[in-house]
Structure 1
Amino acid sequence: MSDQKNAAAQASTDTALTAEERAAQWQVFGERTIYKNRWVTVALADIRTPDGVRFEHHKVYLPQAAMVAMIDDQDRVLMMWRHRFVPDLWNYELPGGLLDAGEDPAVAAAREVIEETGYRTTGTLERVVAFEPMIGTVASQHFVFIARGVEKVGEPTEKNEAAHMKWVPLDDVLGLIAAGKIRNSGTLVAVLHLLAARNRA
């Protein structure tokens, strides 16, 4: 988005704010990039907080991501047991990955499912939410989908994603969370949504 479009969008947002909201809004006077590659952009924003203090605040931009919770007819969700080297931990995660430039989130989600699991979604993907996992510093929109119809069409083509896959009963999810075996934010959002929806039914 160009600077002119950004300014227009900001002005439109500002006019919709109440006086109380405008007083609580952080003001941004500019931004400069200090590092950038295809995976991550790190910038410093010149900002002023509501108490009048002005300083440079780090901003991190990461690509958008999409993930899918696939449910079978036995009320189980397909999860991947995988190692994450950055925090150095093992946990259960849903299949998913980064969007290509201009890619529709649902298309990316379905593509990642096939690549990582060998399953194909057979029904419409239900979009649950788009959320920001670290909204105070990082901009990286994540899209969560539910798929209630899937079929096995082959073996995963992505060989670096997981040690193994498992159909996990929804009844076991809260225990896995309590044991620290589900840590990924998108996975947590999806499985907790599934449990809440089941309890409402």
Structure 2
Amino acid sequence: MKKFEEKTVHSTEIFKGKVVTLTVDDVILPNGKEAKREIVHHPGAVAIIPITRDGKIVFVEQYRKALERSIVEIPAGKLEPGEDPAVCARRELEEETGYGAGELTYLLSFATSPGFANEIIHLYVAKDLYKIEEKRTLDEDEFVSIIEATIEEAEEMIENRQIYDAKTAYGVLWAKMNKM
């Protein structure tokens, strides 16, 4: 048994959307009492830290309805069912930035919001970038602009909350620690 494990005794799906499914789970707590857990099920995603030959990070700026504003992020996207994360990373990099990568390296995977969601992001760094001649098209509901910034400029964007999400802040920190 896992430490502090909560055993699910019943799960009710209350919403199934294009991106997430929401369930309410009845669980037995480690002390034997019952509780309810609302869980957001997500297929997982990738995020990419694209580094240009001159050491800049390629970001995308896009509107995020949940925040009611635009933020600057590293390119990222949802995994399709059964899709290899590396394949997804290359696709998302090309779609969102117009760049391909001569070198794509897996860094790590992490949970985004483990208190209520099972989403895992697989993080990659992309180097030896090159412009794609025929850029893949964005999803029909996706609108982005490209920003290339130094580590110092990215840190300023974190301070002024243009960069406002954990995956991007982590990506900037990783790039700084690895002297990209």
Scaled by the length of structure 2, the TM-score of the pair is 0.89
Structure 1 residue 29: deviation in Å? 2.1
1:137 aligns with 2:141: no
- Please provide the CA RMSD for this pair: 2.0
Contact 1:145 1:190 in 2 (8 A): no
Match of 2:153 in 1: 172
- Matched residue of 2:82: which SS? coil
- 1:61 partner letter: H
Match of 1:147 in 2: 126
Cα distance per residue 1:140-159 (max 9 Å; x no partner): 11111001111001345217
Q: How does 1:39-78 map to 2 (within 5 A)?
A: 39-78=19-58
Cα distance per residue 1:75-104 (max 9 Å; x no partner): 210011211112112111112211111110
Match of 2:172 in 1: 191
Give structure 1 stretches of 5+ with no counterpart. Answer: 1-13
Cα distance per residue 1:14-50 (max 9 Å; x no partner): 2xx5xxx3xx333322322122234221111111333
In structure 2, C-alpha distance between the alignment counterparts of 1:160 and 1:71, rounded to whole Å = 26
In structure 2, C-alpha distance between the alignment counterparts of 1:119 and 1:40, rounded to whole Å = 28
Query: Which of the pair is proportionally richer in strand?
Result: 2
Query: Which of the pair is proportionally richer in helix?
Result: 1
- Matched residue of 1:175: which SS? helix
- The structure whose Rg is larger is 1
Contact 2:52 2:128 in 1 (8 A): yes
- 2:68 partner letter: D
Match of 1:28 in 2: 8
Instruction: Choose from 103, 124, 127 the match for 2:106.
Output: 127
Give structure 2 stretches of 5+ with no counterpart. Answer: none
In structure 2, C-alpha distance between the alignment counterparts of 1:189 and 1:32, rounded to whole Å = 34
In structure 1, C-alpha distance between the alignment counterparts of 2:50 and 2:102, rounded to whole Å = 11
Between the two proteins, what is the percent identity of the paired residues? 24
Contact 2:96 2:144 in 1 (8 A): no
Scaled by the length of structure 1, the TM-score of the pair is 0.80
Total equivalences in the alignment = 178
